[in-house]
């Protein structure tokens, strides 16, 4: 049986969410859908205070086997230095995540650029939410000369052409699948950039985990490509 890895899950308060995002819900969903590892992050870090959010994330992941901790920093409140990234590595965080639109900062932002170089020096992968056409291109231009693996989160079918162009040009870029809900979108991305560049992500519990798994299972990909997307790629990139 495939060892499924979900690189995009959240827990905690989320205004407007129609489902239960409590920490207790995520392990239940994992068991129900045979997910072996979820990369998880507290929404407190995204919405309120990244220090408190990261503390909540690492505490939850210590209590629940199968959860891999994801850190975040709001660049608006980052004043330089390598301390945050070094601390994340010491505490066992597997990934660092950024939310420019939700937090109201532009990609071309000096504190974010400083963080990118700090991440690169310590080889910690990053995930960036990119919901608007043009954002993928912009982040790819910023990453020229920066040696860091970048996972693009929330990519929709209308961004598929942009994503494929960037993935072809930059070996360190990947796309997670939570935004690829349109029929044929996942297969199109795999055909254009390769199955080794696509990672399974659900955005659960805010979005249905079962539907996200089914979208890959019924995408028309070969079993070998499904195995890459559903877990093998994430294990290699995140050292799981």
| pLDDT tens by residue, 71-119 | 999 999 999 888 889 999 999 999 999 999 999 999 999 999 999 989 8
pLDDT for res 60: 93
The ranges of the chain with pLDDT < 70 are: 1-2, 17-20
pLDDT for res 202: 96
Residue 74 sits at φ, ψ, to 5 deg, of -85, 110
pLDDT for res 112: 95
pLDDT for res 19: 66
Total Cβ atoms within 10 A of residue 106 = 11
Q: Domain ranges in the chain?
A: 4-238
pLDDT for res 82: 82
pLDDT for res 14: 78
Task: State the helix-helix crossing angle for 83-91 and 110-122, rounded to 10 degrees.
Answer: 40
N-term to C-term CA, the chain: 17
pLDDT for res 156: 94
CA distances from 41 to 114, 124, 223, 225, 226 (A): 22, 16, 30, 27, 25
pLDDT for res 158: 93
pLDDT for res 201: 98
If you write DSSP's letter for every residue of 147-168 in order, what string do you get? ---EEEES--GGGHHHHHHHHH
| Distance separating alpha carbons of residues 27 and 35, to the nearest angstrom | 9
pLDDT for res 125: 95
pTM of the model: 0.95
pLDDT for res 20: 61
| Distance separating alpha carbons of residues 233 and 51, to the nearest angstrom | 29
CA distances from 52 to 2, 56, 68, 72, 170 (A): 34, 6, 17, 10, 34
CATH class, range 4-238 = alpha beta
Candidates 188, 177, 183; CA nearest to 154 is: 177
pLDDT for res 196: 98
pLDDT for res 13: 83
């Amino acid at each position: 049986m495939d060892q499924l890895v979900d690189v995009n899950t959240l827990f905690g308060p989320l205004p407007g969410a129609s489902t239960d995002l409590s920490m207790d819900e995520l392990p239940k969903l994992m068991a129900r859908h045979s997910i072996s590892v979820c990369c998880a992050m507290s929404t407190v870090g995204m919405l309120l205070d990244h220090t408190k959010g990261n503390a909540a994330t690492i505490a939850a992941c210590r209590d629940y086997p199968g959860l891999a901790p994801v850190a975040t920093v709001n660049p608006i409140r980052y004043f330089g230095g390598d301390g945050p990234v070094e601390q994340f590595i010491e505490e066992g965080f597997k990934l660092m995540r950024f939310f420019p639109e939700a937090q109201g900062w532009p990609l071309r932002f000096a504190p974010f650029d400083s963080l990118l170089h700090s991440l690169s020096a310590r080889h910690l992968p990053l995930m960036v939410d990119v919901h608007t056409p043009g954002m993928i291109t912009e982040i790819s231009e910023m990453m020229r000369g920066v040696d860091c693996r970048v996972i693009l989160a929330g990519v929709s079918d209308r961004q598929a052409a942009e994503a494929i162009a960037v993935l072809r040009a930059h070996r360190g870029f990947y796309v997670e699948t939570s935004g690829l809900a349109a029929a044929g979108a996942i297969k199109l991305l795999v055909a254009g950039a390769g199955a080794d560049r696509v990672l399974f992500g659900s955005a659960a519990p805010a979005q249905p985990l079962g539907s996200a798994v089914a979208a890959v299972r019924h995408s028309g990909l070969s079993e070998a490509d499904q195995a890459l997307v559903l877990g093998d790629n994430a294990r290699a990139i995140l050292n799981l």
